[in-house]
């Protein structure tokens, strides 16, 4: 008998490989040919071939995250949580042998639904939205930064705006950036729909997103922007899901996911946008344009407030476009002050969100803080879209905050008689000499951004895990945005090089010698082994093991490494059961990747999943600015090897550091 198995946990580290190891051992014990595909943070390993699937008698999915199952239609499929793969592998295989498993059909409920009891409750709307946002972010970064580079290096000020000559290389670079932007809304909508309806929702979502972003379908010059993309994504996803759940003859089931569902769902979302949503949107924006034109000279302050609010409301979407086109038209009539206000409002959202993310660790996850750097840079070049990921993740708090900031900046620009002679915004236009009253321009930007930073810092809730801890098992990662059933982690090579960074006493970051992690002893030495831990509490043991790292020059004594360790423990216990704990963290205080191993023979309460006390404890320390994720490789190696009962017993029985080191040399 041949069985295939897939293991995957929310963060793709220890439990993914523990379940794989136990299933393989159980298969060997029961005389069953079993192949396991792991879907972890390192990527998909040991993937199934078409022949594997064709020859398989059944498939076991032990996962706490969504696994695409389309390739298993017509096969016996057992879907359980990853903990069942760790604790009940023989029982799962016995069920498959007895045939007590249903055959998977295309309309079967998803792994997410089947394992819902094993997962923490999460708002499904938020999860679907974050899935789309996580895939959209790279397109915004590519488009925004390439356009900014092209404008900076090749932009020429003209009466019609900042123009890049058609025959220059910078025009080509700008076109590449613009191409990336055209994918932004379709990608957002497509992956929202895919999160809802699995793969059959992807194509309808992208089609709906394309229609939402191109107003020509429904008579609008501006389109519906990213807000329209969100609407299209949910429409397409739930349309596809509804069609997916229809009972159809068995003969139609094979073509449902590849023909029937995508075609019908695409028609539904497309027709709704073209004939229901699109036309009213177009009429609304035409009315807005006429209204703005009629306000000139009536109330300058009110006009500045309205323009600032419109620019930041949807950050490059239709409302933004109406205000921007109005300002551009005023340039043609010799009125530069309208565009001066808009030029300020354009850059406040990305500058403010970039600053807020970089300086406020309590409100933003590590991935958001990294994204904030690119967002801030886009703001300098007038790319408002840089703030979209933050707005999409938390619209009720972020959008009001950036609107108030842009309105403040716009009013200050109006009062300071700031003028902009080119149809563009951001500090770049001031640097290129297109702005009158430069000092007032920068004052308006600074004050507007400060207002937004303060507001968003007050309104946003603290995130659960904002310190640079290495995310482990048992809790959703803070970044899943960002929620995300997050985007799949980028695969890294199994022999990933840990390009560590060391921080000197004066705070200057330098590159340490790269360390290739092929086995555990690459970052463990006999001096990092303590066979007689004296601590009787979790906190005492953590202090004791950190002291070992400090004595060996792996961690600075005045750093925040302990805070990183404790923050990780607050997410969920790193006690993985079977008397094992693997605390781990990232910090600027870590000077080189290291693992310290300790034994506490009496055991320490680590709040382990199986209630066992931790006796074998591995503490992983990683520099915050590590260029690769070799720590994931270490967690994978440890998780697999520690499933071996004989290995654990041998470790507990060692009497010398050299003996322990020889055993740890087997972990690879």
State the catalytic residues: 9, 584
Count H helices and E strands in the chain, helices first: 24, 19
Q: CA–CA distance from 275 to each of 210, 219, 269, 272, 503 (Å)?
A: 15, 11, 10, 6, 59
Residue 511 CA, distance from chain mean position: 26
548 token code pair: 């070992």
Residues 6+ apart with CB under 8 A from 33: 1, 2, 3, 27
Separation of alpha carbons 146 and 416, rounded Å: 32
Phi then psi for 168, rounded to 5 degrees? -105, 160
Residue listed under structure tokens 């729909």: 193
User: In 3D, which of 603, 152, 153 has the Cα closest to residue 378?
Assistant: 152
Separation of alpha carbons 535 and 542, rounded Å: 8
Q: Which H/E stretch holds residue 187?
A: helix 169-197
User: In 3D, which of 410, 497, 468 has the Cα closest to residue 584?
Assistant: 468
Contact yes or no for 67/111 (Cβ under 8 A)? yes
CB neighbour class for 38 (10 Å; exposed up to 12, middle 13-18, buried from 19)? buried
331 token code pair: 């340039």
Neighbour tally for 464: CB within 10 Å: 13
Contact yes or no for 520/645 (Cβ under 8 A)? no
Phi then psi for 600, rounded to 5 degrees? -120, 95
User: In 3D, which of 522, 517, 495, 497 has the Cα closest to residue 664?
Assistant: 522
Contact yes or no for 217/258 (Cβ under 8 A)? no
Separation of alpha carbons 269 and 281, rounded Å: 16
Separation of alpha carbons 285 and 298, rounded Å: 21
378 token code pair: 């886009």
Residues 6+ apart with CB under 8 A from 92: 23, 26, 60, 62, 78, 80, 84, 85
Contact yes or no for 62/93 (Cβ under 8 A)? no
Q: CA torsion 602→606→612→615, rounded to 10°?
A: -40
Separation of alpha carbons 38 and 46, rounded Å: 7
CB neighbour class for 293 (10 Å; exposed up to 12, middle 13-18, buried from 19)? exposed
196 token code pair: 């809802």
Q: CA–CA distance from 16 to each of 113, 258, 630, 641 (Å)?
A: 19, 30, 16, 13
Contact yes or no for 339/331 (Cβ under 8 A)? yes
Residues 6+ apart with CB under 8 A from 660: 526, 529, 531, 597, 599, 651, 654
Q: Where are the beta strands (DSSP E) in 372-483?
A: 419-420, 435-436
Separation of alpha carbons 352 and 566, rounded Å: 30
In sequence order, what DSSP letters do the residues of 370-396 get, joined into one string? HHHHHHHHHHHTT-GGGGHHHHHHSHH
């Amino acid at each position: 008998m041949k069985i295939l198995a897939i293991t995957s946990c929310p963060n793709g580290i220890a439990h993914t490989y523990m379940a794989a190891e136990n299933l393989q051992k159980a298969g060997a014990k029961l005389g069953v040919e079993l192949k396991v595909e792991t879907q972890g943070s390192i990527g998909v390993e040991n993937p199934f071939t078409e022949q594997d699937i064709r020859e398989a008698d059944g498939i076991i999915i032990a996962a706490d995250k969504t696994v695409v199952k389309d390739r298993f239609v017509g096969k016996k499929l057992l879907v359980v949580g990853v903990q069942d793969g760790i604790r009940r592998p023989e029982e799962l295989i016995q069920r498959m042998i007895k045939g007590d498993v249903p055959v998977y059909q295309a309309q079967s409920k998803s792994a997410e639904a089947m394992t819902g009891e094993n997962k923490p409750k999460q708002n499904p709307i938020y999860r679907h939205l974050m899935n789309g946002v996580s895939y959209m972010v790279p397109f915004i970064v590519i488009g925004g930064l390439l356009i900014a580079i092209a404008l900076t290096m090749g932009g020429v000020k003209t009466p019609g705006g900042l123009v890049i000559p058609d025959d220059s290389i910078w025009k080509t670079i700008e076109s590449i950036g613009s191409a990336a932007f055209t994918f932004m809304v379709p990608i957002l909508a497509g992956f929202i729909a895919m999160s809802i309806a699995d793969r059959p929702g992807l194509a309808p979502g992208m089609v709906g997103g394309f229609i939402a972003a191109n107003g020509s379908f429904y008579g609008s010059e501006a389109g519906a922007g990213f807000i329209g993309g969100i609407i299209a994504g949910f429409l397409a996803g739930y349309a596809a899901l509804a069609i997916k759940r229809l009972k159809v003859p068995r003969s139609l089931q094979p073509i449902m996911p590849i023909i029937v569902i995508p075609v019908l769902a695409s028609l539904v979302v497309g027709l709704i946008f073209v004939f229901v949503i699109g036309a009213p949107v177009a009429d609304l924006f035409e009315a807005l344009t006429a209204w703005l034109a009629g306000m000139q000279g009536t109330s300058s302050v009110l006009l500045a407030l309205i323009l600032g609010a419109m620019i930041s409301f949807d950050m490059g979407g239709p409302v933004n476009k109406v205000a921007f086109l109005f300002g551009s038209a005023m340039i043609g009539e010799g009125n530069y002050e309208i565009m001066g206000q808009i030029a300020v409002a354009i850059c406040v959202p990305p500058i403010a969100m970039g600053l807020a993310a970089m300086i406020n660790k309590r409100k933003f996850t590590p991935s958001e803080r990294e994204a904030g750097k690119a967002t801030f840079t886009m703001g300098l070049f007038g790319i408002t879209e840089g703030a979209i990921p933050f707005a999409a993740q938390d619209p009720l708090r972020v959008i009001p905050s950036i609107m108030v900031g842009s309105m403040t900046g716009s009013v200050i620009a109006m009062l300071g008689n700031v003028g902009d002679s080119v149809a563009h915004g951001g500090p770049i236009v001031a640097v290129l000499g297109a702005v009158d009253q430069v000092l007032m321009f920068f004052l308006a930007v600074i004050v507007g951004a400060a207002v937004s930073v303060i507001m968003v810092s007050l309104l946003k809730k603290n995130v659960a895990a904002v310190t640079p801890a290495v995310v482990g098992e048992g809790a959703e990662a803070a970044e899943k945005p960002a929620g995300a059933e997050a985007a799949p982690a980028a695969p890294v090579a199994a022999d990933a090089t840990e390009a560590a960074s060391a921080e000197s006493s004066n705070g200057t970051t330098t590159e340490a010698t790269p360390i290739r992690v092929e086995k555990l002893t690459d970052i463990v030495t006999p001096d990092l082994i303590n066979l007689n831990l004296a601590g009787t509490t979790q906190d005492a043991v953590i202090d004791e093991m950190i002291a070992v790292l400090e004595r060996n020059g792996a961690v600075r004594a005045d750093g925040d490494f302990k805070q990183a360790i404790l923050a990780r423990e607050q997410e969920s216990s790193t006690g993985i059961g079977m008397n094992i704990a693997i605390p781990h963290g990232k910090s600027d205080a870590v000077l080189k990747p290291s693992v310290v191993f300790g034994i506490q023979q009496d055991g320490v309460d680590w709040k382990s999943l199986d209630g066992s006390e931790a006796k074998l404890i591995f503490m992983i320390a990683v520099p915050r600015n590590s260029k690769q994720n070799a720590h994931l490789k270490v967690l994978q190696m440890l998780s697999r090897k520690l499933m071996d009962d004989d290995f654990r017993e041998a470790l507990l029985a060692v009497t010398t550091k050299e003996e322990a080191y020889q055993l740890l040399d087997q972990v690879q």
